[in-house]
Amino acid sequence: MVEEGSPKSPEAKLGLEVEDLWDIQEPQLSPTEKLNACFESIPVSEFPQASSSQVIEIRSDASLGEAVQLLSQNKLLSAPVVDVDAPDDASWIDRYLGIVEFAGIVVWILYQSEEKKEGLDAADVFAKALQDSTGPAVAAAASGMSSPRYRSSQPGSPKTDGNFFESLTSSDFYKNTKVKDISGTFRWAPFLALQPSNSFLTMLLLLSKYRMKSIPVVDLGDRKIENIITQSAVFHMLEECADHQWFKSWGSKKLHELGLPPMKHNRIIKVDEDEPVLQAFRVMQEKGVGGVPVVASGGNKAVGNISIRDIQYLLIAPEIYKDYRSITAKNFLTAVKNYLEENKKESPMVSGMVTCKKEDTLKDVIMKLDSMKIHRIYVVDGEGNLEGLITLRDIISKLVHEPRGYFGDFFDGILPIPQNSRV
C-alpha cells in the first residue's frame, strides 16, 4: 500500500531525490549549477528499469527475417547486435557490432526488389544502390540511419504485412542473409554505452549535446546490457517530476521566456507537400535530422511531419509501396493516416501534426511530448505557420550544461566531438 505523500512512480522517486539534493546546494550557485551538481550525484543505476522487451540483443548470425520478427514482436525500431564470434574474454565494447535498425533493413529490402542478385552478395547490391545517384533518394538515407542521433528504442511496432513484403521476405536470399552480412552497408553506429556508476549528468549530456536517442547501460561484470535509457523515458521522468520545486522554476515559464525555440522557422529543414516523400528521407540523411515538417506548397504553413521511423510504411502500406518512388509527401501522410486508422494503430500521424505556441509553458510541452511518445514538437503561430522547433536536447540544455573538460577522453575513437563546446 502506498503511503500518502510517497512517490507514485520510480521516476517521481528520482525527482524527490533531486529535490533533496537541491535543498542542500550552496545558495550562491545558479539554478543550472545546482542541477548539474544534483544530477552528477545520482548514478544511472538508479534510473528506472526499461521493460524486458526493450533490453534485447540480436545475434550477429540471426537472419534478417529473424531480426525483423524480433524487432516487430518487441515493438522496437532498433537493437544492439552482439557478435557471436567474439572471444569469451572480449571486452563489452568488442562484444557488440553496433546497432541494427528496422529502417535500415527496409532500405536494404527495397533494393532487393529492384536488383537482380545473381553473382552479387548483399553488400555489393547495397553499395551499388548507394552509388547510383539516379536511383530512389531513399538509398542516400541509409548512409546516416545508424548514426547516434538516429539510435532509438522508442515505442512503435514495425508491423510487416502485405503481399509485397511477403513476396520479398519469403525468398531464400532474405531468409539466409545474416545480420552480420549487411552490417557494413548501413555504416552502423559504434556501440557506445554507459556504466551503472556513470552519472545522470553524463546521460543527459549524451542525450542532448551528443544527440543520442537511446543509451545502453552495460554491467562490466557480465558485459551485458542491463538497461536502456531512451529519450521517451527521460521525457516521462521530467513529466513525473514537473511538480517538484527544483523543476518549477523552469516548468512554469513560457517557452519564449526560456529562449525557446532555439531554432527559428527560417532554419528549419522542411519539405514541400508536393515533393516526393523520398526527398524527405534524403534530407534527413543529408542534414542529420530525425524528422522534417511538411509545409503547404509555396508557403510556411505546417501540414504534417515525417520522421525517420516512417520509412517502414514504404513497405507495409499497400497504397504506398506500389508508388513509393513517386508518392508525394502530402499523399504519403494521407496514405499512412488511412492505413493506421484502418488497422486501428495509435500514432501521432492519426491525430495530426503535434504543435505548440510560444505562450505555452515548458511543463505544457513536456506533458504533450510524453503523452504522444514523440521527441520533437513544432512551434506555430495563430495561423499555423512554423515559428520554430523544440526537441528533448533543447529542453535539457535549459536544465544542465557541460562543464569544461567534463568528458575527457570518454569519446576517444568512438564519437566525433561536436563543434559547439556547450550544450
CA angle 390, 396, 399 (to 5 degrees): 125
Domain that holds residue 384: 255-396
The domain boundary, picked from 141, 164, 186, lies at: 186
Indicate if 385 and 264 belong to the same structural domain: yes
DSSP 231-265: HHHHHHHHHHTTTSHHHHHHHTSBGGGGT--SEEG
Asked, for residue 314, whether it belongs to a domain, the answer is yes
C-alpha cell at 239: 513529466
123 in Cβ contact with 182 (< 8 Å): yes
Which range (23-37, 296-310, 316-330) has the least confidence? Answer: 316-330
Distance between CA atoms of residues 236 and 196, nearest Å:
20
CB 19 within 8 A of CB 204: no
Strand, helix or coil for residue 370: helix
Question: Do residues 139 and 262 both lie within one domain?
Answer: no
Q: What are 298's strand-pairing partners? A: none
Mean pLDDT of the chain: 77
Q: Which of 134, 151, 186 is the last residue of a domain?
A: 186
Q: Where are the alpha helices (DSSP H) in 132-244?
A: 138-142, 163-169, 172-176, 200-208, 231-240
Same domain (yes/no): 263, 174: no
Say if CB 290 and CB 389 are below 8 A apart: no
Stated pTM of the model: 0.76
Q: Would 10 be classed as within a structural domain?
A: no
In a domain, 405, yes or no: no
The 10s digit of each residue's pLDDT in 291-320 is 899 999 988 898 999 987 787 787 677 777
Task: State how far the Cα of 385 lies from the Cα of 375, in Å rounded to an integer.
Answer: 20
Q: Which residue has the higher pLDDT, 372 or 107?
A: 372
Number of domains, the chain: 2
Distance CA 25, CA 242 (A): 20
**Which pLDDT belongs to residue 76?**
80
- For residues 178 and 70, membership in a common domain is answered with yes
In angstroms, the CA 100 to CA 180 distance is 10
DSSP type of residue 51: P
Same domain, 304 and 391: yes
Co-location of 259 and 380 in the same domain: yes
Taking only the tens place, the pLDDT of each residue in 272-288 is 999 999 888 888 867 77
Report yes or no: 349 and 342 within 8 Å, Cβ to Cβ.
Answer: no
| Predicted confidence (pLDDT) per residue in 97-115, tens digit | 887 877 767 666 665 555 5
Higher pLDDT, 346 or 193: 193
Dist. CA 222–CA 226, nearest whole Å? 10
- Whether 59 has a pLDDT exceeding 50, the answer reads yes
By C-alpha distance, which of 183, 190, 214, 386 is closest to 309? 214
Residue 99's beta-bridge partner residues?
80
Domain assignment of residue 336, yes or no: yes
Both 259 and 156 in one domain: the answer is: no
* pLDDT tens-digit series, residues 410-422: 766 454 444 443 3
User: For position 390, what pLDDT does the model report?
Assistant: 93
CATH of the domain at 273: 3.10.580.10
Which region, left, alpha or beta, applies to residue 119 given φ > 0 means left and ψ of -120 to 50 means alpha? Answer: left
Residue 205 lies in a domain: no
What pLDDT does residue 93 have?
A: 77
Within-domain flag for 204: no
Here the cell at position 310 is: 516512417
